[in-house]
Structure 1
Amino acid sequence: MSGETISIHGPDHNFTGYLAKPKSGTGPGVVVIQEIFGVNQVMRDVADWLASEGFVALSPDLFSRIEPGVDITDQTEAEWKKAFDLMGAFNVDHGVADIAATIKTLRPLTTGKVGAMGYCLGGQLAFLTACHTDSDASIGYYGVNIQNRLADAEFIKKPLMLHIAGKDEFVNKGAQAEIIDNLRDNPLVTIHQYAEQDHAFARPRGAHYDKAAADEANARSLAFLRKNLA
């Protein structure tokens, strides 16, 4: 399955995204929120996978305000350095605004409801998407720095699912406990913990990829999206 690049118009910024549609041509929508490597093959593969499951998926270029068209991997030291430099320059609130614009662009292409699913940096952005946009359901995989924005949780109005890696090298045990303790009693929030997994356990070909854990998380995500976006 192959998608296409489309334009996304925000209130103060225009950018592009990778769009993948199901064979039916339409369905519920999902915004696929990138890691620190841009809209790369991994993100396009996620969008294509969601399209194969009946969703209209759109992955926006959230680094476009810094450098449009970032498409790198996790396979070399130089790419990791560039990825961390981009993350350091990235404005999270601008990212949320661009996700809101992406949802607005995607919704007319769908059967009505639009959710969001993000990884790493995108996991934090998925949390903030649940807090500050009209996403109908949001999912974050091993989100970084969520503990720094927990005050925003009071604005959650629609379901949120978080996948937390117990041995996450970028989210220490204290941060994980803070996130869980602050969100566990919110009826809109579902938290799944993977005690033996490290960061990016669901990224194929990544150093910490674990197929069994990834399959379990992805099955939970699909069920969550189908329940809340139907």
Structure 2
Amino acid sequence: MTKRTEAVRVPDGEFSLHVWLPEKGSGPGILLIQEIFGVGDYMAAVAEDLAALGYVVAAPDMFWRLERDWTVEHSETMMAEAGDKASRFDWERGQADLEAALDRLRGLPEVSGGVGAVGFCFGGSLAYLLAANASGKLDAVVSFYGSRVPGLLDRAGDITVPIQFHFGGSDPYIPREEITKVEEAFAGRGNVEFHVQEDGGHAFHNRTSPIFHQPEPAARAWALTEDFLARRLPVS
């Protein structure tokens, strides 16, 4: 599998876009949006999973204004440092960066067909906002347990792209009643799929982290993700 790093230029600088190519060398594009630990081993593992399905995957360095290409291990000791980065993240400029990364992905010569986005945790919230801000540029979005989503339901009407939500019903960071609010806000929308793994805690899909990973809900959610992408962002 081929991996390289591209640059995304914005008015006040540039940042890294880590790119993974599928075996055939081309395919639809997926913007992979990091969680709070940076574009590290976990994001690389997810990127490789998606590339194995035939997608061109690109993960932008969202914390570049705080520290370029920063990443830490998924552990209790690093939680505070990762949380500090997320607390200092500029969400307005970050959304503009994300749209710039999406445009850069769409312009890669290996991208053929549609383009989608997949985000986890911090990235799940950003994926939701990207769906609201740039639905016309996307063919599919998957948002995994974005903790800010319940507080951003005023943007629900702006989302016209097909979107799939994943939450853990036992997530200590996102109360179950908040998850229900999201489900109710999107009820009856033909472009929306909503899945709750009731036995899943926060970041249950993160197989690189013993403190988060839950194999059974992770496998169920990923199977749903693969099915959604196959339907909404097919690989020829």
Using the TM superposition, give the Cα deviation of residue 186 of structure 1 relative to its aligned residue in structure 2, in angstroms. Answer: 2.1
Q: In structure 2, how many angstroms separate the alpha carbons of the residues matched to 1:99 and 1:72?
A: 21
CA deviations over 1:164-191 (Å, ceiling 9, x no partner) = 1001111012211211111122221110
Provide the secondary structure at the position in 2 that maps to 1:215.
Answer: helix
Structure 2 counterpart of 1:219, from 191, 216, 223: 223
The yes-or-no answer on 1:106 pairing with 2:105 is yes
CA deviations over 1:7-44 (Å, ceiling 9, x no partner) = 11235441102100001111000011000011111111
* More strand per residue: 2
Q: Is the 8 A contact 1:22 1:56 kept in 2?
A: yes
- Specify every segment of 5 or more residues in structure 1 that has no aligned partner in the other structure, as ranges: none
Provide the secondary structure at the position in 2 that maps to 1:113.
Answer: strand
Cα 1:16–1:50, aligned 2, differ >3 Å: closer, same or farther?
same
The yes-or-no answer on 1:147 pairing with 2:150 is yes
Q: In structure 2, how many angstroms separate the alpha carbons of the residues matched to 1:138 and 1:32?
A: 10
Percentage identity across paired residues of the two chains? 32
Q: In structure 2, how many angstroms separate the alpha carbons of the residues matched to 1:204 and 1:2?
A: 22
- Specify every segment of 5 or more residues in structure 2 that has no aligned partner in the other structure, as ranges: none
Equivalenced residue count is 229
Q: Is the 8 A contact 1:27 1:111 kept in 2?
A: yes
Q: In structure 2, how many angstroms separate the alpha carbons of the residues matched to 1:126 and 1:48?
A: 19
TM-score (norm 2): 0.92
Which residue pairs with 1:93 in the alignment? 92
TM-score (norm 1): 0.95
The yes-or-no answer on 1:64 pairing with 2:68 is no
Q: In structure 2, how many angstroms separate the alpha carbons of the residues matched to 1:80 and 1:165?
A: 19
Which residue pairs with 1:203 in the alignment? 206
Using the TM superposition, give the Cα deviation of residue 199 of structure 1 relative to its aligned residue in structure 2, in angstroms. Answer: 0.4
